[in-house]
Amino acid sequence: MSQPPLIGLNADIRKLPRWGVGATALLTYVHAVEQGGGVPLVIPALTERAALRAALARLDGLLLTGGLDIHPRLYGQRLHPATRLADPHRLAGDQALLEEALATDIPILGICMGCQWLNVALGGDLIQDIPSQVGAEVVHAPRETFHPVRIEAGSRLAAIVGQEELEVNSSHHQAIGRLGQGLCAVAWAPDGVIEAAEGEGSRFLLAVQWHPERIVDRPAQLALFQALVAAARERSG
């Protein structure tokens, strides 16, 4: 029997009282990968490119986790008053990880900040604050809420979840603006905010703005992690 695919998760960086700074991953992500059939491995904020390439050579898939905000200088904008920057060590590690990962064919699933990172890494930009730049028709944050999304018929996402409308959870104040190169929007909130994007080619590149790891008791949400693991298994042979 073949070994289950090894799925890397980028770590968040958090200050721990008395103990210093830690590289951590929420167990919701870890458990979602496990339930999807993969073996999760947390990657700290590495910036040494040789170390990153060595790590990626051992991984079969990559899950980009959520977090605070990406610095807008990375996509040519000034800092919005509502933007809350992630730890600079995390930002540097995430940027280096994505640059190296995108140079390979490793399957990637991005969630929330991970969705935004994938878009920025491919040359896109972000809406820095939905309430002030889009409006309040749909409440996306700060507390977790639920709303429907419309999914593009015939998309990879529609095939994975098996439907063209899906209820999702929402706790984000930023979202994809201009799409990155090679990405296409495949899901939208009722206010027009892009809720998911995927790669235009055959490679598994999928980014969702909501948090499926929190609601894996719903089969359509668990299916996202199962699809990542299936793509990783196919790649590893």
List residues with catalytic annotation. 112, 211, 213
Residue recorded with tokens 């298994």 = 233
Cα(27)–Cα(156) distance, integer angstroms = 27
Residues 148, 88 contacting (CB under 8 angstroms): no
- Reduce the secondary structure of 107-149 to three states and give it as a string: CEEEECHHHHHHHHHCCCCEECCHHHHCCCCCCCCCCCEEEEE
Task: Write out the H or E segment, with its range, that includes residue 222.
Answer: helix 219-236
Task: Please give the distance of CA 31 from its chain centroid, rounded to a whole number.
Answer: 16
